[in-house]
Structure 1
Amino acid sequence: MPLHVLPAPAPALLSVLAALGSPTAVSADRIPALRSVQGPVSPESPLPVHVLDRITPGTSLPCTHLTGWRFLLRSEDRFVAAAETLLTPDGWTFSHFFEGPYLGSTERALRQAASMNTPFQPRLLSIPELYMLTLWLHGDTDAEASSGAPLPTDVLVPLAPAPPGIAAHRPHRVADLLPLMTLRLAPEPLLGSPA
């Protein structure tokens, strides 16, 4: 079943294209993966990036907020890097280029999601408290990119590297993964005082 990929806001895409075409941005922000590329690089697979607000025990549904858009950068037949944009008071602006394990992990998770039989809207969900990034497969395929909290039936695919105890690339319903994340974030119980 094809994923319902949202189009990125035009200013976000334009900021990435401008950074790719700018000699100063290129020299200042180029990462090794981009410096070694011969030929053109094109931004593809735009994904809205949401950040999960603090998880607390007893919270029924977590809240999120949109912080940016991430584009995978293709050179010929492969993704070589990614670019991220941020929402500022002045609108969408280029933030940075990056490479590393999340690039291949995102590509793998998108292929995995495309093979599922359920229509989803792909997003990225960052959980800063766990140093965790997931592909969020939102069941409301008509939702605006800036709206929506993870629904209990939505699916989260932790990207590698995932935190200890959470398997990367194993799809979880939000209703199943949220309690595990809540446990991971619960404060350690205080031990009795020394005798």
Structure 2
Amino acid sequence: MKLTGERVIPKLMDCNNGLLREHIERYEFASRYAGGRVLDIACGVGYGIQILLDNDNGEKIQHIIGVDIDEETVAYAKSNYTSSKVSYFIKDALSEALEVDLGSFDTIISFETLEHLENDAAFIHNLEQLLKPSGKLIISTPMGRGRGMPCSNPYHVHQYKEEEFIQLLNKFNKVELYYQRNDTIEKAIEGKKYYLMIAVCSH
């Protein structure tokens, strides 16, 4: 695979690369919540799944399913980040058949996916359906000028304002918001500028 700027591929990047460190930190954050059946939707090359497994000291994770729409990416993940606890599938995150095909999950992770999708509401609906009643969804997206507004990233359809992100998640009973700047993830500190939002959601 080649680095195009669309996907993070750790084995092709310097370990001190800022973008890589930010992405790794998000999976470190998600490790706090990961347990049971885990879905990493739009999992990319699978490095995040390896981080989840490496951090599972209490063996809370039963199985992880990684889903991505790109065949080459899934093939790379199967070759580089495999385990008896991991399965990969080529799937469209907007498919109405996802729940039938994959079942339901205790933990769903969706990092840097939402902003790529025109039909963001359909994607959130799918996540709601896939999440077990007692499950947790950990979802992130970069902050921006608003839905449909121009942004510097050619791969992004939307970059959300905070209130738009919260509105998209309004079907969940509980939404905890965290913010990221560089490799720090925290609750918002007044006056501090952040570039990315992470929500932890439950029914």
More strand by proportion, 1 or 2? 1
Query: What interval of TM-score do these two structures reach, taking the shorter chain for normalisation?
Result: under 0.3
Tell which has more relative contact order, 1 or 2 (C-alpha 8 A, sep 6+): 1
**TM-score normalized by structure 2?**
0.25
